[in-house]
Amino acid sequence: MEAVITWDSGPQAEGAGLFWHHYDLAQEAGRAALEQEGLEPLVFSALTAPETRPRCATHGDGVLINLRGVNLNPGAEPEDMVSLRLWVTAAGVISAQFRPLRALGDVRAGLAHGALPDGPAELVVRIALRLADRAEPVVADLNEAIDGLEDAMEDGGGQVTRADLSQLRRRAVQLRRYFFPQRDALSTFEIEDAVWIRPHDRLRLREATERVTRLGEELDAIRDRAQIVQEQIMDARAERMNRQMLVLSVAAALFLPLGLITGLLGVNVGGIPGTETQWAFWVVCVILVVVSAGQLWAFWWIGLIGRRKD
């Protein structure tokens, strides 16, 4: 991206003489060129702030707008959203950024094909709509991911790890934290009293606001669905643990009377019956088998094993 991109509307546009100056603050040339604009210190500080959140504020005869777009740069995570700072006046738009935004490339491509905006508010609307266009596939991917996790949980055979679920929830939360403030920023810009924001600009701003709102609501739904999947994972884990504890409890209950009988017969004192009888051992074995069978039948009858309790 060039450090400075300038666009002036041609005489065929209704707003002839309007401009769009864009500066790449990651380059020293871009920051130096922005200083040459002669902006007020407050405006310059807002455009060059290292960290911003979506907002809209009036200052003098202009409007400061901070927006965010998904990060589609190679090797980056989309939820690491890129900030775009705008200073909008009746004469034109000055924008600045530290990292590239593909949405701005879409806007510039439209200008190159002769689709010139007829005012500064129209240019802001185009930028906001392109930001939403670029964000929609990212949100759609999250929807598909949560669909896959839900299907895996319903099938029962799929492996849903808490790490995958946590990553999906983290991405949804990080995106959401910027979409709703962005909705508020666009809504605030729509109701500003600036005369250069015309009625048809306000209608398109409302459309951009609704699209951002819809994306935010989809992220809310993804977050809630992820919470449900997590609860299903915890329920399945608790059910498996309960089954394992049931098996251990049945085994302990099964061997408790057997252990009592053999313990009594193994006491090393006089008077133990059968010590002088050759077939006494087999009698004890038969007694143990009968007791075990009786216990197993009792456990089956009360529903601990083999069937559900009525």
Over the range 250-267, which residues count as b (16 or more CB within 10 Å of their CB) and which as e? eeeebeeeeeeeeeeeee
Per-residue pLDDT band for 1 (boundaries 50, 70, 90) equals very low
The pLDDT of 82-106, averaged and rounded, is 91
Q: How many CB atoms lie within 10 A of CB 184?
A: 16
Confidence check: pLDDT of 132 > 90: yes
pLDDT, mean over the chain: 84
Say if CB 27 and CB 18 are below 8 A apart.
no
Side chain identity at residue 29, one-letter code = A
- Residue 45 within any structural domain of the chain: yes
d(CA 83, CA 99): 8
Answer with the residue of higher pLDDT: 9 or 116. 116
Confidence check: pLDDT of 14 > 60: no
On whether the pTM is more than 0.85, the answer is no
| Full strand arrangement of the beta sheet holding 62-69 | 4-8, 19-24, 92-97, 82-88, 62-69, 55-59
Say if CB 26 and CB 83 are below 8 A apart.
no
Q: What is the pLDDT of residue 66?
A: 94
Distances (CA, A) of 286 to 95, 292, 300: 91, 10, 21
Q: What is the pLDDT of residue 158?
A: 57
d(CA 160, CA 152): 7
Say if CB 158 and CB 152 are below 8 A apart.
yes
Provide the CATH number for the domain around residue 78.
3.30.460.20
- Residue 275 within any structural domain of the chain: no
β-pairing verdict for 92-97 and 19-24: parallel
- Residue 293 within any structural domain of the chain: no
- Residue 100 within any structural domain of the chain: yes
Q: What is the pLDDT of residue 73?
A: 86
* Number of domains comprising the chain: 1
The pLDDT of 10-38, averaged and rounded, is 76
- Residue 207 within any structural domain of the chain: yes
- Residue 93 within any structural domain of the chain: yes
User: What is the domain extent for residue 89?
Assistant: 4-236
- Residue 291 within any structural domain of the chain: no
- Residue 218 within any structural domain of the chain: yes
